[in-house]
Amino acid sequence: MELLFALVIGALTASGVYLLLRARTFPVVMGLTLLSYGVNLFLFATGRLATGQQPVIGTSASYSDPLPQALVLTAIVIGFAMTAFLVVLALRNLADNENDHVDGQHENTSPTSEEQEQEVTSK
């Protein structure tokens, strides 16, 4: 089960990083979301996952650490706020630039005549 959990964390992190490197806003938002899910699972796994254990020290012989649970809860709230901010930012970029490319440039733009002249003069 630990191997499966580690593979899931690795797959979420790898796919999140891959989507972050895309040139469109929606994949970037999805990449950040998947990356935050991977980090949340990693934080949750650091608390010695066990079923039926109490998260309070001294109530039983073995316990689960409550700190990763609190960190994950906080990370979920922060991740939701960050996702909402990124969606609003992406919508503003779409309204201002009329495309959803992350650097504000069109994909298939050919250089203008001024840019071509600058290249020729610089050489």
In a domain, 57, yes or no: no
In a domain, 81, yes or no: yes
Secondary structure of residue 29 in the 3-state scheme: helix
- Mean pLDDT across 5-26: 93
User: Counting every residue, how long is the chain?
Assistant: 123
pLDDT in tens, 38-93: 999 998 888 776 677 676 666 667 767 778 888 899 999 999 999 999 899 888 88
In a domain, 36, yes or no: yes
| CATH value at residue 76 | 1.10.287.3510
In the chain, DSSP finds a helix count (H) and a strand count (E) of: 4, 0
Gap between the Cα atoms of 81 and 104, Å rounded:
24
In a domain, 79, yes or no: yes
In a domain, 41, yes or no: yes
In a domain, 100, yes or no: yes
pTM across the whole model: 0.71
88 and 81 Cβ atoms separated by less than 8 Å: no
The total number of structural domains in the chain stands at: 1
Range of the domain at 23: 2-52+64-105
In a domain, 13, yes or no: yes
DSSP class of residue 121 equals H
pLDDT in tens, 20-35: 998 888 898 999 999 9
